[in-house]
Chains A and B, each alone.
Chain A
Amino acid sequence: DADVTQTPRNRITKTGKRIMLECSQTKGHDRMYWYRQDPGLGLRLIYYSFDVKDINKGEISDGYSVSRQAQAKFSLSLESAIPNQTALYFCATPPGELFFGEGSRLTVL
């Protein structure tokens, strides 16, 4: 089983819709991260969490919110999706080095 699981793997939605991307990890790590990847821009940090009660904004948090429902679960929400949020989204977790999920490809029309 994968250490980090993301759902959905692919999603197409329309402008203005609310979208939730979910991430779960099986290793009991405290820290979890959400990154966004765009072609030519590398990975940019959206939000990160050090534990259930500790949520921090990353480099590009505007337009996104997160929820750490449990140590194992960290969800990313787009309250009102817009086309420039079309990207590949990754959840990741330590220790030492990051373990990444397989990604959630989101297309906003």
Chain B
Amino acid sequence: SQQGEEDPQALSIQEGENATMNCSYKTSINNLQWYRQNSGRGLVHLILIRSNEREKHSGRLRVTLDTSKKSSSLLITASRAADTASYFCATDFLGSGANSKLTFGKGITLSVRP
């Protein structure tokens, strides 16, 4: 399967701490994206990092990409209770055309305790 795999499956932290989530994939990519899903809701796009980028920031989010290890990490700094959600990485594989078939991982459940 080309599906990305997130690690850990579940993460519980205290408010104010940093949360680090990882994603690994198997084949070369055009880009990798992270999405967030609140319980029972649609997914919301957080950040996209292209294969020629190594790091990207958006507010409290920091994403890194290591194409040699075929892995990415999402760091949420100074977490808040409102960050409690499921987080998914999605990969757009090289040769599939721009965003033609995003493949999603199984997700990470993040719980931030007040």
Contact = CB atoms under 8 A, between A and B. Distances in A.
A74 interface: no
A48 B100 contact: yes
B33 A100 contact: no
B45 A41 contact: no
Interface string B41-56: 1111100100000000
B3 interface: yes
Contact of A98 (B41, B99, B106, B107): B99
A97 interface: yes
A42 B3 contact: yes
A51 to B, nearest CB: 12
Which of A41, A45, A48, A98 has the most chain B CB within a 10 Å cutoff? A98
Contact of A42 (B40, B48, B100, B106): B106
Contacts of B43: 43, 90, 92, 98, 100
B45 A103 contact: no
A50 interface: yes
Contacts of A28: none
Contacts of A4: 42
Given A42-B88, A43-B88, A99 B45 contact: yes
B105 A97 contact: no
B93 interface: no
A21 B100 CA distance: 22
Contacts of A103: 40-42
A42 B33 CA distance: 14
Contacts of A31: 99-100
A86 to B, nearest CB: 15
A45 B106 contact: no
Interface string A9-41: 000000000000000000000010101000011
Interface of A: 4, 31, 33, 35, 40-45, 48, 50, 58, 88, 90, 92, 94-103, 105
Given A45-B101, A45-B103, A95-B99, 9 more contacts: A4-B42, A42-B104, A97-B33, A98-B43, A100-B43, A100-B44, A102-B42, A103-B42, A105-B40
